[in-house]
Amino acid sequence: MSWFDEARLDDEAALATIDLRLRSLAESGSRVRREAGAAAEATAEAVERSRDLARPRAVIAAGPDSRLLRAVLEPWCPVPFVAWPSPALPGWAGSLDLVVVLAPHGSDTGAASAVAEAVRRGCQVVVACAPDSLVADHAAGRWSTILPTTTGDQLATAGVMLDYLHRVTLGPATDPDEVADALDSVAQSCSPHRDLAVNPAKMLAIALADTNPVVWGGSVLAARAARRVAESVRRAIGRSAIAGDLEQLLPVIEAARQRDVFDDPFAEGGSELRPMLLVLDDATEDPLVLDQAEQLRNAASSRGVRVEHLTTEAGSEVGRYASLLLSGTYAAEYLRVGLVDD
């Protein structure tokens, strides 16, 4: 049987067991800056070359990491935009189209296959990857550009690509420094050296400890962050944690058994884990999103389901996404260290 010992969240010896994970989270902002700086020259050259080319008929984000680009670009891109996570390309893709690929680790065979297919069809190709990687080898071609990356961080790699797409007027403004600042702010507030009384990630871990989390984000990017946070919780403690849209999560909350104040938590069957609604709030003012959030909160209130919020003050959409994702990932790691086996 597992139980949660919140004292471990301020215990140096316990925190040392996840030191490498926490260090990696704390360095998120520096990785974004490092990738932006390393790719600056190649990005400027790619932007200059694009001036001699016509605007593409469509933009295709190919490979397994295409969904993050879709979340940012789909509402904004001035030409048709398609995310294609499979190793192939749409049948209609050709020389009039731009194929962009994120390959943080550079060794993904699916991304390499998509890049090779794009080169074979004569597409314009822009790939963010390590210059000496498998994907880079498959990207060699007359109309191909490699934006060099080194850290293997998906968000930092996406920042390089989004900066390029903005500079060729195919994407919204995305300032890597602003995103890095948002990540640094989270790293400071969620640092293991901050007492749990003033540490939002530690407090969220305590709230999540005896629940099955139900994670919701209303905007496209907040919804993606919700899925990533739920995945982090599952990986950290092997417990059920789900994320989805209103239609998927509302029945889960409405089916929750009403809490009985006379239940003995130590009796047989008294340790049943109840759902807890975690709302990722990226400050969107979309009336539909606000209405859905209200529906979820009302359903949670009617069933006695606890509600927690993750908020952010970052300025840009990508910055808010990064902030919410990192905050939730910190909470998952503190869950990992706080849960102990009896």
CA distance 305 to 281: 18
Least confident of 33-37, 195-199, 226-230, 265-269: 265-269
- Mean pLDDT score, 34-47: 94
pLDDT tens by residue, 84-140: 988 889 999 999 999 999 999 888 898 999 999 999 999 999 999 999 999 999 999
What H or E segment, with its residue span, contains residue 14?
helix 12-16
- Mean pLDDT score, 137-145: 91
Residue 43 reports pLDDT greater than 70: yes
Q: Band of the pLDDT at 54, cuts 50, 70, 90?
A: confident
What phi and psi values does residue 122 have, to the nearest 5 degrees? 80, 20
pLDDT tens by residue, 9-28: 999 999 999 999 999 999 99
CA distance 197 to 52: 57
Predicted confidence at residue 294, as pLDDT, reads 96
Q: Assess contact for 218 and 265: CB atoms under 8 A.
A: no
- Cα end-to-end distance, the chain, whole Å: 5
Residue 62 reports pLDDT greater than 90: yes
Average pLDDT, the chain: 91
Q: Which domains does the chain have, with CATH numbers?
A: 2-28+179-341 (3.40.50.10490), 53-174 (3.40.50.10490)
What the block records as the tokens of 136 is 């880079």
What H or E segment, with its residue span, contains residue 60?
strand 59-62
Predicted confidence at residue 260, as pLDDT, reads 62
Predicted confidence at residue 87, as pLDDT, reads 85
Predicted confidence at residue 95, as pLDDT, reads 93
pLDDT tens by residue, 244-271: 999 999 999 999 887 665 555 555 555 5
Q: Band of the pLDDT at 328, cuts 50, 70, 90?
A: very high
Predicted confidence at residue 129, as pLDDT, reads 94
Predicted confidence at residue 64, as pLDDT, reads 82
Strand-pair category, 124-129 with 144-148: parallel
What the block records as the tokens of 260 is 């009985």
Percent of the chain with pLDDT over 70: 96
Question: Could you give the angle at the alpha carbon of 296 between the alpha carbons of 290 and 302, nearest 5°?
Answer: 135
Q: Assess contact for 126 and 154: CB atoms under 8 A.
A: no
- Mean pLDDT score, 30-40: 95
- Mean pLDDT score, 221-236: 94
What H or E segment, with its residue span, contains residue 126?
strand 124-129
Residue 185 is which amino acid?
S
Task: Output the CA torsion sign for 306, 22, 325, 310.
Answer: positive
